[in-house]
């Protein structure tokens, strides 16, 4: 149960952010650049949280 609630919140945030993200990134080059930036940010947060909470 402790892993289900955060997953639901992450999915909810994704549903809220995804339409605006796709609307502002109509060009594929801009979309890939922003996707790369966001994946680096998410990976950094995941790695930091794993290091802090272990």
Tens of pLDDT, residues 16-49:
988 887 788 778 888 888 889 989 999 999 998 8
Q: Is the pLDDT of residue 6 over 90?
A: no
**Domain count of the fold of the chain:** 1
Domain that holds residue 35: 4-52
Q: What's the pLDDT at 4?
A: 83
Q: What's the pLDDT at 15?
A: 93
Q: Is the pLDDT of residue 13 over 80?
A: yes
* CA terminus-to-terminus distance, the chain: 19
2: left (phi over 0), alpha (psi -120 to 50) or beta: alpha
Q: What's the pLDDT at 36?
A: 93
CA distances from 22 to 18, 28, 30, 49 (A): 6, 10, 10, 27
């Amino acid at each position: 149960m402790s892993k289900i609630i955060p997953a639901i919140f992450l999915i909810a945030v994704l549903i809220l952010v995804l339409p605006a993200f796709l609307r502002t990134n109509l060009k594929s080059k801009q979309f890939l650049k922003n996707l790369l930036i966001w994946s680096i940010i998410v990976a950094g947060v995941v790695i930091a949280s794993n290091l802090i909470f272990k």
